[in-house]
Amino acid sequence: GAGVSQSPSNKVTEKGKDVELRCDPISGHTALYWYRQSLGQGLEFLIYFQGNSAPDKSGLPSDRFSAERTGGSVSTLTIQRTQQEDSAVYLCASSLSPRPNEQFFGPGTRLTVL
């Protein structure tokens, strides 16, 4: 069966440009999470979706970051006016219900801002 997929797998961009990262969760999974892992750091929570709504956006680091989810499925994380400190691996996870041992992670998108 298909797992969580993310695209692109790698993204190199110039400082100041906007980027969009995509996550396709496992079909039927209602909960979706975005995390990021900066070099030498643990995974940092960004945002949580239940269906199409985001009850917790507390991890978004600035207003340059936004995310949406449509149809209770695909989610897009958008970073506007990228900065070098945005460079990280962005990971998406989904679960059938908000139970942490059922979170399935995608392979991540490695973002490099030059």
Partner 1 sequence: DQQVKQNSPSLSVQEGRISILNCDYTNSMFDYFLWYKKYPAEGPTFLISISSIKDKNEDGRFTVFLNKSAKHLSLHIVPSQPGDSAVYFCAARGYNAGGTSYGKLTFGQGTILTVHP
* Residue of 7, 11, 13, 43 interacting with partner 1 (CB under 8 A): 43
Do 90 and 36 meet the contact criterion of CB atoms below 8 Å apart? yes
Of 11, 64, 72, 105, the one binding partner 1 (CB under 8 A) is 105
Residue with tokens 């507390």: 58
Strand-strand pairing, 19-24 and 31-37: unpaired
Site stretch for partner 1 (CB under 8 A), options 12-20, 60-68, 73-81, 94-102: 94-102
Helix (H, G, I), strand (E, B) or coil at 4: coil
Round to whole Å and give the CA distance between 65 and 101. 27
CA–CA dist 48, 8 (Å, integer)? 21
Among the listed ranges 14-22, 62-70, 77-85, 87-95, the one in contact with partner 1 (CB under 8 A) is 87-95
Q: Does residue 80 belong to the site contacting partner 1 (CB under 8 A)?
A: no
28 lies in the binding site for partner 1 (CB under 8 A): no
Run of H or E including 79: strand 75-79
The window from 13-21, 42-50, 71-79, 80-88 that contacts partner 1 (CB under 8 A) reads 42-50
Residues that bind partner 1 (CB under 8 A): 4, 31, 33, 35, 40-45, 48, 50, 55-56, 91, 93, 95, 98-108
